Amino acid sequence: MSVTPDPEAAANTALDDVLASQWQGVPALILRSPPGAGKTGVAQRVALQSAALLHERCMVVTQTNEQAFDLTRRLVTNARGVPIHMFAKEGLNLPDDLRQQARLVVIHKIEDLPQGPSITIGNASKWSWTDTEEPLFDIQIVDEAFQLPDYKFQLISNLAPRHVLIGDPGQIDPFVNCEIERWRCDPAGPQVSCPAALIKRHPTILQLALPVSRRLNEDTVSIIQPAFYPDMPFRAMSRDRSVRFDIAGIMPFDAALDGVAAGASIVMVELPPQITGEADSELAQELVESIRRLLQRRAQKSDDGRVSEVTPRDIGVVCAHVSQVNAVRERLGYGMADVFVETANRFQGIERPFMFVHHPLSGRADATAFHLDAGRLCVMLSRHRIGCWIFGRQGIIEQLTRFAPAGNRALGIDEDPEYQGWRAHLTLLAALSGANRMFPAVHGLAPSNAA
């Protein structure tokens, strides 16, 4: 009888498989990862193995400067003394902590690239300006690869003969700011993520998956995995993640807060049905008052065994539109300036102990492809470590029923993104409704200074 390994052992085995593939000289590897599985940590280990043990020149591709900064912070403290270079545009304003790193070398031209075993980090846009006919590196690692469109990958793939593409297939698809009708029937078109296009061109490419999420707890995984990763099972790392309140809940709208304290890591707060369009001032007010109430009740969080009082810095708010972000920010006030409020696109790669979500379909009279997008909703519901509250108008299930996708697909394309998003929304709401995690919003909220 086979014994299922514990999550820690499963994660370590997956990491060993990834590292072993590079010792074997596998020309290309696609590594799929669920939210919070430690993708950047894997990229860090592969890069260090390449430079320190295999004595290779390693390049790392990120999607943004912020991701490059984060990975650089991890790598400059390596114990093996591997040189760390950042390939960046002239005049880039580095964070103070990186500017003071003596072991970091910032370079701007390909003539200054290191020739010996080393690690060089840069974003995809900077790498794309490199003009060379010969490979400059031995291995190319692409972090957040599912956000890199294939046409951008084609601009840099010649820089190294081996590739490791690491990313989360459940997140928001690459953004392409041009018409793509001429490529809709091309499964490896430029608008497709580079891992998906690479598989279409080379079906036998090595594909591995990380089996454990270190961020999400078991309760969240039981909801997120069936809705957004039906073909990629994964587990949660068993950790102590919980919240308790020093002040008991006595107000009607405390029920949703207490639901998370009781172990339901994702719950939904429903306002009365109403078509509001993008901006919904009433929903924004309800959301902000719930944040105030969370802090007023002196919430204590336990995160991997570390107990501390919840502060605004522990809270994030994610919305689909900038107008919704602005509505929340206007109501938070100066005292909660540390609450991080952003759109789903900007929240990718970021986490907080507690998240408040403005449901993308709330208050709408339709269900467009943008608002049905499974990747956007997945990002929204996978940023938290402890608890997540979704805010929306009643009637979203009926709204989805009225706007069920027609099922039309482009010739030669197996996937139907609109249907996948529609299915993910319904699966999520059915799970919350079936587990009694839907709480009615209460009007006439208490004053913000009430205890």
Domain assignment present for 355: yes
Domain with 38, as residue range(s), is: 7-212
Instruction: Let me know whether 377 and 425 are in one domain.
Output: yes
Cβ atoms 233, 356 nearer than 8 A? no
What pLDDT sits at residue 185? Answer: 64
What pLDDT sits at residue 348? Answer: 86
83, two tokens? 């040189």
Q: Percent of the chain beyond pLDDT 70? A: 91
pLDDT digits (tens, 9 = 90+) for 371-413: 999 999 999 999 999 999 999 999 999 999 888 776 665 555 5
What span, in angstroms and rounded, lies between the C-alpha atoms of 108 and 126? Answer: 9
Instruction: Let me know whether 70 and 150 are in one domain.
Output: yes
What span, in angstroms and rounded, lies between the C-alpha atoms of 217 and 318? Answer: 19
- Is it the case that residue 450 has pLDDT exceeding 70? no
Instruction: Let me know whether 224 and 316 are in one domain.
Output: yes
Q: Look up the CATH number of the domain holding residue 144.
A: 3.40.50.300
In eight-state DSSP terms, residue 39 is: H
Evaluated on CA atoms 15, 18, 21, 23, the torsion sign reads negative
Read off the pTM.
0.89
- Which of the two residues, 139 and 180, has the higher pLDDT score? 139
pLDDT digits (tens, 9 = 90+) for 48-89: 999 999 999 999 999 988 889 989 998 988 767 788 999 998
Mean pLDDT of 145-164: 93
- Which of the two residues, 304 and 175, has the higher pLDDT score? 304
Instruction: Let me know whether 142 and 81 are in one domain.
Output: yes
Instruction: Let me know whether 287 and 204 are in one domain.
Output: no
Instruction: Let me know whether 14 and 113 are in one domain.
Output: yes
- The count of structural domains within the chain is 2
The candidate with the shortest Cα–Cα distance to 195, out of 257, 145, 266, is 145
